[in-house]
Every structure is written in C-alpha cells, then in structure tokens.
Amino acid sequence: MKSRFAWEGLLFLWLYSGILRNLLPQLNYVLYLLPFLIAFTYFLVARSIFKSAETIRVFLLLFLILIFTFQAMHYLFRSIDLKVIFTGLILYGMAATIIFIGFNSEPCKLLQPLIRSIEIAIPINLVLVALQVIGNLEFFRISPLTGGEAMTTDGNVLRALGTFTHPTGYATFLSVASVVVIYQFESETKMKRSINLFQLGFLYLLSGSRTVFINLALIILTLVYLKRRSLREQGRLGASRIVVSMITALGLAFVMLRYRFNWVLESFANRISTASTQENSVKRILNQSFGWYKDIGESLWGQGLSSYSTVSIGFAKDRSAWIEDDLTKIVAEAGSILGIAIIVLRWGMPLVIHVRVKNSRTEKKDFIYLLLSACFSNLTVGAMMGQGSVSLQVWICLSLCINLTSNTSRKQKGLDST
C-alpha cells in the first residue's frame, strides 16, 4: 500500500466524511472507523523505506498494543459496549498510525496533496456555509446523526458547519486553510490570490465563532514573528503584505454581508458578546489546561478510552456524562498513570517537532511553524481525543510536519513507496 493513497484517503475523509455521515447516517460508524482502518492497514503492510522508520514502527506498535490491551481489559471486566471499545482505539490509536505515514514517506511528498485538497475544499465549504447560515435551509436544521436541533445562535441562525458535523471541526479546517493560503500567497496569480482571500473572508465572518478568530490571530502573530526574527529562508512570506491583504478581504466581505445580510452579523455579534459576558475566557482556558490535575487519584485505570466522548455516549446503552474539557476527559478515561503519560506526550509533540525543525535542512520552516500555530489550541486543550474530525486534522498536520523535517540524506531500505 503506497503512502500517497493512504494520505489522500485520509485527507478526503477529514474534509468530507462529516457531510457524508449526515447524508448517509446508516453508514455513520463505518465512515467514522474508515480513517483508522486506512492508516492502520498502511502501518501494518507498508514497507519501511527508511531504516529509522522501522524503529519508529516498533515503538508505535508497542503503543498500539498498550491501548488495545487497556481497552480489552475494560471490555472483559467492565462490560463496556464494543463500539465504545473500538471508538477508543480509533481516537487514541489514530495518532500512532497516521504519524507513521510522515516518517515513512519521502520528504515533502505529502505537502502538495494537502494544498490541493484544501484549495478544492474552500469553495465547497463556502457554498455549504452560505446555504446553512444565509439560506437557513430546513435540511440543515435537524442533525441526521442525533435527530436533534442543529446548533444555532441568537435569532435562530444556524452555526456554520461546512462539510463537518460540528463547528469545532469547521474551525480547525479554517485555520489550516488560512496557512495554505498564506503559504501560496507569493506563488499564486493576483486573481487567484484575491479569490482565495475573499473566500476566506466570507468563511470567517459566517463562522459565528470566537475560536476561528483566536486561531487567526495566533497565525498572524506567528507570521509577524517569523518575519521579525528573519527566519524567511525562501523570502516567500512578506508579513505586512499578507496581513494587509487578509484584513482588506475581511473588510470587503464584511461590507457585503452587512449590506445584504446584516441580521447574520448581528446574530453572531450577539452570540460572541453573550458568551464573553457569561464566562471568563482566561479562567476557562486555565481550567481546560490544568483542571485535570484535580482528578488525579480518582481512578488509577479510568473508565476506558473514549467512554466520555460524544460519539461513544451515543453508542452506549448505559450513557455516561459527557466531559467537555479534553484533558480532564483523558484522565477520566485512561486513569491517572496512562492519562498523564498521554497528556505529556501530547504537549511534548510540538517541542519534538521544533527540535526537528532546528536540526533539519528543510526549506519549509515557516510553513511548519504556521501549521503548528494553526493547531495550537487543539494541541493544548482542544478535542484531540474527543472528536474524529479534530483528531484527524491534528494528526495529519503533525505527520506532515514530521515529513517536512525529514532528513533527505537518510538511507533508503528499499524503493520509494510514495
């Protein structure tokens, strides 16, 4: 199995499995399981083309065996629903299997498929978001997966989902799309560049989400920092020019929406204002980041991986309470020992990649740092182990970063399988 096929299959499922699950709810769990099956099949059957990849495969295999044993013990002694067991293997095992693709692919071979997929997905999401938010079609008001009302804001305006099943998945897509548009800024024609920025402007303003603008601010700050620190090896990223262009695109999109669809902007503004008033954002972030320490010692072995995720709660016959904060959920599911180890590994991944970037000869350093900034919220406190689309996005991006920092002088074991 070639890494290119596995990689493009994962990209397609990340971007479109959400809308497919809504259109074909009878295939919901199959589509949810498919990304893991693709990555796991590649992990098992792919030939290691680098000596280091075989060593990495052994360590990742030990991790998979660990979580499989952990889930099996919970299934035998706690009688957890079998679908919950497999969902845990998907959300936690996806990390190892997707990361391996980055280690076992020729350097920089995974970047162009991602760029191409994002460029195709941007206009598709723009059409769907317009139908969801502005069109307010009845089709989007009821979730085929849950049978309940879709998420709305003040004025009963639908939250933007695009091709995803949840606004968080849509927000993570927008962040990666922004990095791709920034990266392609200098190489695109003026017309294509303007179209891409204008589309992003509409997608941001129709999102009705604070998260997308926080992520955008992190990306812009990272871009400015890279420019200031003179890390531009290729001179591709002119920070001031890109920032001005993005602000201009957002401004034009805002004027057009305010002229014809002012009620949408007012609804989103009221939602953001209300949310900011009702909760202390700083306190919420601190609680999401460190609130899990209060649960240390509650359970040594936890309740089983994925027991408190929204997907598993839907499958389980005896439903548990949903835990929103991902790190707290990890400790509750995996227990004190394994839970803390997973959190440490999760927080350590960006540091490992940073070290790889410093020690590599890659020409994509700016792109890697921008991609990490786009994933920052999900890497630290986001639903990496709770939502399939978010988990897929993060591990795809980390796998790409690993691939871009690969040492091109590594000795191959066999033929190029990409």
CB 260 within 8 A of CB 297: no
In a domain, 27, yes or no: yes
CB 315 within 8 A of CB 81: yes
CA 145 and chain centroid, separation:
21
In a domain, 413, yes or no: no
Q: How many CA atoms lie within 13 A of 261 on its CB side?
A: 19
In a domain, 46, yes or no: yes
Q: How confident is the model at residue 147 (pLDDT cuts 50, 70, 90)?
A: low
According to DSSP, residue 108 is labeled T
Domain extent, residue 52, equals 3-404
Sign for the CA dihedral angle at 71, 73, 76, 77 comes to: negative
In a domain, 165, yes or no: yes
Q: How confident is the model at residue 14 (pLDDT cuts 50, 70, 90)?
A: very high
Q: What is the mean pLDDT of the chain?
A: 79
In a domain, 156, yes or no: yes
At 284, which helix (H) or strand (E)?
helix 281-290
Could you give the number of structural domains in the chain?
A: 1
Q: How confident is the model at residue 386 (pLDDT cuts 50, 70, 90)?
A: low
Q: How confident is the model at residue 280 (pLDDT cuts 50, 70, 90)?
A: low
CB 232 within 8 A of CB 223: no
Instruction: Determine the Cα–Cα distance for residues 337 and 334; give it in Å rounded to an integer.
Output: 8
In a domain, 418, yes or no: no
Residue 15 one-letter amino acid = L
In a domain, 417, yes or no: no
Rounded mean pLDDT, 124-136:
88
| C-alpha distances out from residue 366 to 73, 181, 183, 236, 372, Å | 44, 13, 8, 9, 10
Least confident of 21-35, 240-254, 312-326: 312-326
In a domain, 411, yes or no: no
Report pLDDT digits (tens) over 301-325. Answer: 888 888 787 666 665 544 456 677 7
Instruction: Determine the Cα–Cα distance for residues 198 and 91; give it in Å rounded to an integer.
Output: 35
Closest CA to 242 of 118, 378, 370, 124: 370
Rounded mean pLDDT, 370-388:
81
Phi/psi of residue 226, nearest 5 degrees: -60, -40
